[in-house]
Structure 1
Amino acid sequence: MNKMTQRKSVILLSCIALLCCIGGAQAQQNSVSVSPVSIDAKVKRGASYTQTFTLTNNTGTRLRFKCSVSDVWYDEGNKRVTGRPGTLPHSASLWVQFSPAEIDVEPGSSASVKAIVTVPQTAAGGYYSVPIFEALPVDPVLASATIAKVSTAKASIGVRFKGLMMFTTLNASEYNVEIMGGHISPPSASAELAMQLDVRNRGNAHARLHGSYAILNSSGALVGRGAIKETRYLPDQRKMLEAGWAGELSPGKYTAVITVSYDRVGMEPATLLYELPLIVQ
């Protein structure tokens, strides 16, 4: 093995050692964490809101956390996309300032940073931002106790955490969730019963939809039931709300009665009722 290969091998092993040190090797009970991960806050227009984040360093290395934000939205395929602050719809990123924006956390300890959110008077509805916390060693580690130190090698490995901040104004939030249509497939030997609702959120704030369904036979008797897992819809987002049922149905005519509910800031929860006919051959 030549010297260049040896040097590359030591750098690689050093990187692996550092990842084990700051990347959360459970066997050694080393971890780096940020909490909370998700924020869903109700805010007043023209006022400020403060959210505290706890940065925990359970490694043997002093870490420097750098705090920043980015925009978040969805594309035509409902895939999550991010962008520079202030470039995507319903952005809250320009409202957010971290105090401090950079902080060192000693090994085996925690520290707090505050996100100070200044809500414009003109804000109405839901707004979103991704908080980013990047942890890097203050003193870069090039070798572990079992690896020879190589003074000419340099390695920089960090851990990046991304969360989600959602804000809804207490006033001027509008809710209008519609079920555009639906489809139901009967159970078979290879697949369970599947329900899909085409749902669109025409409001200016996000809605968390959840619900239940009941399957009735032609006589109106209950033959099956289940729950619909919570799904979040951002403003003007349209996507399928799905549920399944693993039971069996005899040939005949059935009706799936579906109830979907969501909370509304400053108002009573809203409930939607939808029925899907089903024929089992």
Structure 2
Amino acid sequence: MFQKTAKHIALSLISLFAWGIPSANAIDVGVSPSRMELDIKAKQARSNSIQITNLSNKPAEMKAYVRNWTMDEKNELEDAPSNEQSLDQWIVFTPSRFTIPPRSTQTVRFAIRPKVKPAPGEYRAVIYLEEIAADNPDSQAISTLGRVGVVVYGYTGEVKRVGTVNSVSVDTKSNVIKALFDVSNKGNAHIRINGQYAIWRAANYPGAKATQPIAGVGNPKTKLPASIVQAGVLELPPILPDNRRQLLQPLTRQLPPGNYVLDINGNLSGMAVDTGIPFTVPAAANVSKPAPKPVNSSAK
């Protein structure tokens, strides 16, 4: 199963999922797909390809390498130690270093070849595609201009996705109103919440069972119903096996004081997440008040 990337991805430090991609030294490289999910024992796992497109008017010199990864406490991707049971040890690919002419595309092909018998469950790797300075002859001191990456999930045996949404709340105390999802994963493969949200005026909210997904959410040209003040797509990181995480979904920077309901129409790896969370935006605490009249101490 492939998830297509946007035409242009710019990043150097990678947090590769839909919750946001930081960028420091941007590079003009497009990658497709951005995520792959493969059955390790199937023929599909033996022959795969990644398309890297140079979107600039200059040649791009690239190198490819593979790492094991996990999620840190901030729900960001980080490299993890490798061992004989990690997917990065089983991926073979070619080429490892190449130059892409301007406005051209390069294919990197890879296969999964386990060196030991995999235990049932999920395995993860990331194939990094790093742009390097072409004029540096010293291979031991390569200057990195930026990198993109393709996340690879491999599966074998019985895959269990056992997720629970423990709670959903709304934080109105900061400058950005946020939804907080508390989610547990007791399975042997990652889970993720997909779907959309809508902020209703509380007086007009018909209840969670009466609401439906809104066609065209995420498109600025989509006209929302009068009772909905904002709607959007849920963009949350995955929860890895045997983890419980707090996931933040930014909603909006400003709402007038009043009562609202955050309506969720989504699913957690196939399980419906259909709920409404009432919340109140208080009046500003720093509203200026009339100054008290001075007291005349000589008054009787």
- Which TM-score bucket, shorter chain as reference? 0.5 to 0.7
Partner of 2:31: 35
Partner of 2:237: 232
Partner of 1:150: none
How many Å separate the matches in 2 of 1:135 and 1:277? 47
Q: Is the 8 A contact 1:43 1:49 kept in 2?
A: no
Q: Is the 8 A contact 1:45 1:121 kept in 2?
A: no
How many Å separate the matches in 2 of 1:129 and 1:270? 26
1:116-154 Cα shifts (integer Å, max 9, x gaps)? 12357635333221213345567648xxxxxxxxxxxxx
Q: TM-score, normalised by structure 2?
A: 0.58
Correspondences of 1:34-113 after superposition (within 5 Å): 35-36=31-32, 38-45=34-41, 48-55=45-52, 63=61, 65-86=62-83, 91-102=86-97, 104-105=98-99, 107-108=101-102, 110-113=105-108
How many Å separate the matches in 2 of 1:53 and 1:116? 11
In structure 2, stretches of 5+ residues that fail to align are: 1-24, 208-226, 283-300
Structure 2 CA distance for partners of 1:201 and 1:166, relative to 1, 3 Å: farther
Amino acid at match of 1:68: Y
Shift, 1:176, TM fit = 1.8
Shift, 1:41, TM fit = 1.8
Q: Is the 8 A contact 2:87 2:154 kept in 1?
A: no
Partner of 2:149: 163
Structure 2 CA distance for partners of 1:157 and 1:201, relative to 1, 3 Å: same
Q: Does 1:212 align with 2:209?
A: no
Q: Does 1:184 align with 2:170?
A: yes
Shift, 1:226, TM fit = 2.4
Shift, 1:200, TM fit = 2.4
Partner of 2:279: 278
Shift, 1:169, TM fit = 2.5
Structure 2 CA distance for partners of 1:59 and 1:140, relative to 1, 3 Å: farther
Greater helix percent: which structure? 1
Shift, 1:93, TM fit = 0.6
Greater strand percent: which structure? 1
RMSD across aligned C-alpha pairs, in angstroms?
A: 4.1
Structure 2 CA distance for partners of 1:239 and 1:136, relative to 1, 3 Å: same
Structure 2 CA distance for partners of 1:226 and 1:106, relative to 1, 3 Å: closer
How many Å separate the matches in 2 of 1:61 and 1:248? 51
Shift, 1:69, TM fit = 0.9
Q: TM-score, normalised by structure 1?
A: 0.61
How many Å separate the matches in 2 of 1:277 and 1:45? 47
Amino acid at match of 2:143: I
3-state secondary structure, aligned to 2:89: helix
Shift, 1:238, TM fit = 1.1
How many Å separate the matches in 1 of 2:233 and 2:51? 33
Shift, 1:56, TM fit = 5.1
Structure 2 CA distance for partners of 1:46 and 1:182, relative to 1, 3 Å: same
3-state secondary structure, aligned to 2:235: strand
Q: What is the count of residue pairs matched by the alignment?
A: 228
Amino acid at match of 1:184: V
1:178-211 Cα shifts (integer Å, max 9, x gaps)? 1222322469xx9565432212233222233123
Shift, 1:61, TM fit = 6.1
Structure 2 CA distance for partners of 1:61 and 1:164, relative to 1, 3 Å: closer
Shift, 1:97, TM fit = 0.6
Q: Is the 8 A contact 2:183 2:245 kept in 1?
A: yes
